A and B are shown apart, each in its own frame.
Chain A
Amino acid sequence: SQTIHQWPATLVQPVGSPLSLECTVEGTSNPNLYWYRQAAGRGLQLLFYSVGIGQISSEVPQNLSASRPQDRQFILSSKKLLLSDSGFYLCAWSSQEGTEAFFGQGTRLTVV
């Protein structure tokens, strides 16, 4: 069966520090991978998606970047965090047909 791992679960970082969130998927090949951000009491905002190794599409201009160094690994990064980067970050995968998405447990990021 397929599983998705996302870590860390919580993170408190100072303004200006770098960020690296990692997400890995097991039990499937060539998944579509996604990073979403959820502000408190809000819906999900798609940040990045990837349909293959090295292929990243950005949905919104921001202080963040994403990379896919391996088929089942998706990394969300920032060189210098801003206060506005605080939020709940969710990684997800779907099959190539792009139907239902399977989510990780999320990372609560607080920038102080």
Chain B
Amino acid sequence: SQQGEEDPQALSIQEGENATMNCSYKTSINNLQWYRQNSGRGLVHLILIRSNEREKHSGRLRVTLDTSKKSSSLLITASRAADTASYFCATGAGSYQLTFGKGTKLSVIP
């Protein structure tokens, strides 16, 4: 079953703008992760935030986590055409399994 739900399903922005994607989940988690998938390729891990963290940065990426609202957001600043991809959140609740959402399809227009 899918626990994470990304919002919006699709997002189109101009190059240089910021892109914000949201993820909501239903049960308690140990961590939440964001992945990127280029069309027809495997997923690439972007960033992991633990349940006791509220914010994390990695380059142009900023992730927030609000466990009281069971939600997370991924912000990509100063977007580039190369950021065009689908972005998935995944929740880790046990030792072995990640549960993925359906993803947000981001299009960055040059």
Contact = CB atoms under 8 A, between A and B. Distances in A.
B84 to A, nearest CB: 16
A51 interface: yes
A112 interface: no
Interface residues of B, number: 24
B48 A49 contact: no
Interface of B: 2, 4, 31, 33, 40-45, 48, 88, 90, 92, 94-103
What does DSSP make chain A's interface, helix, strand, loop or mixed?
strand
Given A99-B31, A100-B33, A90 B97 contact: no
Contact of B96 (A44, A88, A98): A98
Interface stretch (A12-20, A67-75, A101-109): A101-109
A42 B101 CA distance: 8
Given A46-B97, A105-B41, A106-B41, A99 B48 contact: yes
Contacts of A96: 95
Contacts of B42: 6, 90, 92, 103-106
A61 interface: no
30 contacts: A32-B96, A43-B2, A43-B100, A43-B101, A43-B102, A43-B103, A44-B88, A44-B100, A45-B2, A46-B97, A46-B98, A49-B96, A49-B97, A51-B96, A90-B42, A94-B98, A96-B95, A98-B92, A98-B96, A98-B98, A99-B31, A99-B33, A99-B48, A100-B48, A101-B33, A101-B43, A101-B90, A103-B44, A106-B40, A106-B41
Interface of A: 6, 32, 36, 41-46, 49, 51, 88, 90, 92, 94, 96-106, 108
A100 B42 CA distance: 14
